[in-house]
Structure 1
């Protein structure tokens, strides 16, 4: 495509195209277990995603679709639960602006053997599951907020221009023992100076929040939207 799709335009078009490819989400569709049909459909969607994230691949696309689906299912359940409560003033309002566009996914859920990991895709038939890479665990998402796409870290390379700031020795290494990168140290250092000036307590959670904010501010708008979707999915677990 020649048109650079961003933010709402990108997500609206992506969801509309996904709706027109029922072999990817309609569990009773005759082509739902047709591996050839599904791969062709994913390839078509990938062309749209690449207009925003040129380095995206099929694995990243499956994560994006799975994130949309799981977030919709949880938001819909909150709406139904609030409606059953009988209090009109307490009806839950979904936070996703594109919630109504995803109603075609209602009822398209297959049982999962485990709830311990984020879904990397819509329910895929067994024959196709071998093509997908192992799903990232919840803990992995907490330690490395990279949307399961290593190349996305290149999009936030602008962090290298941040000044070097001394950081208390207590925070030089993560609990895993892996030394933080220069970019992470710079972001944490800036955040530490700000919190110290305000007299606020400095915690590991605040360090992590500072890294997320710094990285997302330097992402393309479309990437920010996808990141927000996956973060919301993780928080709703």
Structure 2
């Protein structure tokens, strides 16, 4: 049976994860040390198993990936709402309840630039989204 996460258990998990910088900070000297990362995860596991003994390391990794993804999605939404030229009132307000607790990640993540395959100033007729019919090339 899978563990049912509560707010309190997620808060504790985030707090414990934050204590182990080797798990999330690429600038940490221990970030590439698999043994230290495994020891850190087992330390978190031992403390989380006090709440429920059925929690596993894989379950913790899955939960962390989910929390980190949600946090990054919220950050991206905030960033995109500021970029659009919207007013102060129109800036996205994060809906993730643990957003503030995950802010320690902000200095440890990098947002990738989006890439487009559409050239600037390209002719709209050659655009794949164009509704205009383009004649087929003869065979």
TM-score normalised per structure 2: 0.68
5+ long unaligned stretches in structure 1 = 1-5, 113-237
Counterpart residue number, 1:89: 89
| Distance change in 2, residues 1:28/1:51 (3 Å) | same
Q: Secondary structure at the match of 2:22?
A: helix
The within-5 A match list for 1:66-85 is 66-85=65-84
- The CA RMSD over aligned residues, in Å, is 2.2
The yes-or-no answer on 1:105 pairing with 2:74 is no
By percentage of residues, which structure has more helix?
A: 1
- After superposition, what is the alpha-carbon deviation per residue over 1:195-226, rounded to whole angstroms, capped at 9, x for unaligned? xxxxxxxxxxxxxxxxxxxxxxxxxxxxxxxx
**Once the 2 structures are TM-superposed, how far is the Cα of residue 105 of structure 1 from its aligned partner?**
1.0
More relative contact order, 1 or 2 (CA 8 Å, 6+ apart): 1
**Once the 2 structures are TM-superposed, how far is the Cα of residue 107 of structure 1 from its aligned partner?**
4.2
Question: Hey, what's the Cα distance between the residues in 1 that align with 2:17 and 2:100?
Answer: 14
| Distance change in 2, residues 1:95/1:48 (3 Å) | farther
Structure exhibiting the larger radius of gyration computed from Cα positions: 2
5+ long unaligned stretches in structure 2 = 113-139
TM-score normalised per structure 1: 0.41
**Once the 2 structures are TM-superposed, how far is the Cα of residue 88 of structure 1 from its aligned partner?**
1.9
For these two proteins, the number of residue pairs brought into alignment is: 107
